Structure 1
Amino acid sequence: MRGDAMDPRVGRLLEVHPHGLTTAHLHRAGVSDTVIRSQVAAGVLLRLRREVLVDRRVWEASPPWERHRLRALAVAGSLTSLGTEPGQVALSHRSGLVVQDLDVHGSDDEVHGSRVGCGRGHRSGGLWVHAPVPPGQVTDQDGIPVVRPALASLQEAVVHGAECGLVAADSALRVGAATPEELRSLVDLSCLRRDRPAARLVADLADGSRESAGESRTAWLLHLLDIEVECQVEIYGPAGWLVARSDFRIKGTNVLLEFDGRVKYDDRDVLMAEKVREDRLRELGYEVVRLTWADLATPGLVRAKIRQALARASLRRPA
C-alpha cells in the first residue's frame, strides 16, 4: 500500500535526501502542501517538526539511537543558521555525538544545538539551542557543523547526567576522538555552567579502556556503589599462558566482573567457550560475577551479587 501511495517526486527526493526532507526541498521539486499532507496521511512521510519530514518506513525500522541521528540530520537540514560563523548553530550534546557515530545512552526526542561563539539559546518545536561554545570547539562532519566529541560528551553530562556523559566520553576516548587531557581542560567553559560538577565527574572517570557502552554503564554503577576496580585485567595461568581478559577486577580481590550485553547465546560453541573460560578462572581461584543490562537497573541486586562473590573468594586460597 505504501509503495502505491508514494508520489514519484517524493520517492526521488528521499533518494537524494535519505536522512530527511524539508518542506523547502519538497516545494522546490514542485510538491504542494496538499500533496505533502496526503503523503503524511498515507504513511509515506513522518513529520518530525512542522517543516521536517522523514521516510516513515526507515524511521520505524530504526533503533532509538539511530532515530535520534535521523532526527538530528533532518533538523540540521532545516536550519538556515547552521554553520561555524558567530551566532550560527552547530549540532551538540547527544545530537552532535550520534552524528559522529559515538555511543549515547538513553532516549531524547529533542535535537540539540549550540550557538557558535555568541548568541542566545532557545527551545521550541523539538529543537533546543544551547549556550554558545567557542568556535574552536566546532568541526565539520559530512558538511554539518558539530561540536567536537570531548565537549559534546561533557555537554551530554550537563543535560542528561554523568552516566550518559561517561558513556559518550568513554566512546570518544576509545576511538581516539578525544583525550583525557582535552576533557579536563574544557570543564570550566561557561557553556557547562548548568551542571559543572557532572562535567567534572565525567572528565575524572572517563577511561578509554572500557570497550562498550555496557562497560561504561557498569563502571558508573560501580562508582555509585563505591567499589574500586581495575579495568581490562589480564589473567594468566601457572605456565604463563593468558587465560582471560576480564572487564573488571575488584581491587585487592580475586573477584572479576564481566558485562554481558547479549540477551541470549544463539551459537552453542560460543556458549561453551564462555563456560570453559569461566571454569578455568574458577580453577585459578577467581570468582566471576556476570552482569547484564537488566542488572544495571537494579543496583541492590548487583551489590548483593558482589558481596556474595567476595564472601566466596575469601574462603579460597589465593590464586
Structure 2
Amino acid sequence: MESAPAALILSTRRRVLTGSSRDLSRAYAKGNLIRVRAGAYYSKPAWLALKAWDRYTVTVAAVAAVDPSVRFCFLTALRIWRLPLPSVPEHVHILTSSRHKAGRLASTTRAARDAKTGLTGLESTRGYGLFRHHWEVDTVEAHGFAVTSLAQTVVDCAVRMELPAAVAVVDEVLGRRCKVGPGLSRAELQQASARLGSAAKLRRLMDILALADEASESVGESRSRALIHVLGLPAPVLQHSFRDSEGFIGRTDFFWPEFGVIGEFDGDAKYLEDEQLGGRSTREAILAEKKREDRLRALGYKVVRWDWKAVTNPELLRQKLAAAGITTRKSPSYGRIPLALPGD
C-alpha cells in the first residue's frame, strides 16, 4: 500500500499551496470530487473507476493523512503488511486508547447529490467506516503507516479469521513465500499471543500453528490444505517430487501415497502471471502442464485438480477428492469452523 496515492487531494495541503481550499468545496458541490474523509478528496470519476481493493487502499491513506497519529491494526494492518486477505474488509481498523471510543463508525465517504436525480453516484459502491479497537499493543512503522507489528498482526487476525484464511496467513509468514522480510518463527507468534488474554484464542492459535506448513507454495494450496483437514480427510504430503524414465517430472501440490492420488490446485496465476509463466505463453504453460500430468498418470497415479471455486466450497472439494478415492476418516467439521468476532 502506498502511504499517499497521488490522486488523494488534501484540503490542508491545498491551503498551504494556495492559501485557500474553497475550490475543493466548490468542486465537491458540483459533483467533480468525492469526500473520502473530512479534509480528504478524490476525483469522482476516478473513484468510481477504482476496484474495491483500491478504494479501500485510498480510504486507509485518507484516514492516515487526516490524522497522522492514527495506528492501524487487525485486517487493515494485515493489508498494509501485504499478507493475504480473502475479501475487502468492511472497515478500516485502528487502535484507540479510550475504551469508550471503541466500536464501529459508519463510512464518511460522501458525494453531492445531483440536483435533477437526487443521486450521489455512490449508491452502488461501498464506503469503508472505522472500527476502533481498544487494544493495549505497541506499533511499528511499515510502508509509511503506524501498524501493529508483523507478529502481533498475524496473531490478532489468525484467531479471528476462518480456518482456511488463517492458515494461509500463517503459512505465508512462516515459509519462503514471505515478502515482508525474513518471516517469523512459531516461537515469535507464540510470544505475540500473550496479549490475547483468552484461553479459547490461545487454543485456536495453537491449532493453527499445528496445521501451518512452510512447504505450502500458494494461498490456494494453504486454503486447500486447511479445508482438507476440516473435511476430516487424511493429510497429504506436500511438494513431493516425481521422476520417470525420462527424468524429473516435477513437484506436486498434494500427494496421498496410500491412495495413489495426486492433487493439484490450479490458480489463475499459474497460466496468466508473468512470474509464474517464466517466459512462456499461456498456451505453452497449459500444454506443458498437460504433458506433465500425462507422465504422472503413466506412473499409475490418479490426478485430481481443483480451482478457487472448490477452495471456497467445502462440499465441492469433498466431492472431487471422493471421486478420486480420498475417503473421510472422521466427521467433517466445515459447518462448525469457529469464528470469533473482530470487535472482542
Q: TM-score, normalised by structure 1?
A: 0.76
* Native 8 Å contact 1:68 1:95 kept in 2: no
Letter in 2 for 1:231: L
Partner of 2:230: 224
CA contact (8 A) 2:152 2:192 kept: yes
- Map 1:165-204 to 2 at 5 A: 165-173=166-174, 174-175=177-178, 176-190=182-196, 195-204=201-210
Bigger CA drift: 142-151 or 36-45? 36-45
Choose 53-62 or 158-167, whichever is displaced more. 53-62
- Out of 187-196 and 289-298, give the one that drifted further: 187-196
Indicate if the aligned counterparts of 1:289 and 1:306 stay in contact, CA closer than 8 A: yes
Answer whether contact 2:72 2:146 (CA < 8 A) is retained.
yes
Whether 2:63 is the aligned partner of 1:75: answer yes
Within a 5 Å distance, the mapping from 1:20-35 to structure 2 comes to 20-30=8-18, 35=23
1:236 correspondence with 2:236: no
Report the aligned-residue RMSD.
Answer: 3.2
Check 1:200–1:51 CA distance in 2 against 1; reply closer, same or farther (3 A cut): farther
1:73 counterpart letter in structure 2: A
Offset, 1:43: 5.8
Tell me which residue corresponds to 1:157.
Answer: 158
Please, which moves more after superposition, 166-175 or 90-99? 166-175
Letter matched to residue 68 of structure 1? Y
Amino acid in structure 1 at the alignment position of 2:133: H
1:315 corresponds in structure 2 to none
Pair 251,46 (structure 1): closer, same or farther in 2 beyond 3 Å: farther
Name the CA shift for 1:111/1:236 in 2 (closer, same or farther; >3 Å): same
Aligned counterparts of 2:7 and 2:210: Cα–Cα separation in 1: 36
1:197 to partner: Cα distance: 4.6
Aligned equivalent of 1:297: 312
Out of 301-310 and 242-251, give the one that drifted further: 242-251
**Counterparts in 2 of 1:74 and 1:219: CA distance versus 1, 3 Å:** farther
1:234-266 Cα shifts (integer Å, max 9, x gaps): 222257x32111112236332122111128777
For the residues of structure 1 that align with 2:325 and 2:19, how far apart are their CA atoms? 67
The 5 Å alignment of 1:56-71 reads 56=44, 59-71=47-59
Deviations 1:257-289 (A, max 9, x none): 211112877722111111001111111122111
Counterpart CA distance in 2 for 1:302 and 1:43 is 48
Higher-helix-fraction structure: 1
TM-score by length of 2: 0.71
Match of 2:133 among 130, 134, 154: 130
Is 267-276 or 183-192 further displaced after alignment?
Answer: 183-192
> Aligned residue for 2:324?
309
Cα deviation for residue 30 of structure 1 reads 4.6
- 2:217: which partner in 1? 211
* Alpha-carbon distance change, 246 to 45 in structure 1, aligned in 2, over 3 angstroms: farther
Instruction: Quickly say closer, same or farther: Cα 1:114–1:36, change in 2 above 3 A.
Output: same
Alignment of 1:108-147 (within 5 A): 108-115=89-96, 119-120=98-99, 121-125=102-106, 126-135=129-138, 138-147=139-148
Q: What is the aligned partner in structure 2 of residue 148 from structure 1?
A: 149
What do residues 200-243 of structure 1 show as CA deviations (whole Å, max 9, x unaligned)?
4333333332222222221221121122122222222257x321
State the identity %.
27
Higher relative contact order (CA 8 A, sep 6+): 2
What SS does structure 1 have at the residue aligned with 2:170? helix
More deviation in 22-31 or 253-262?
22-31
What SS class does the counterpart of residue 102 from structure 1 fall into? Answer: coil
Q: Secondary structure at the match of 1:252?
A: coil
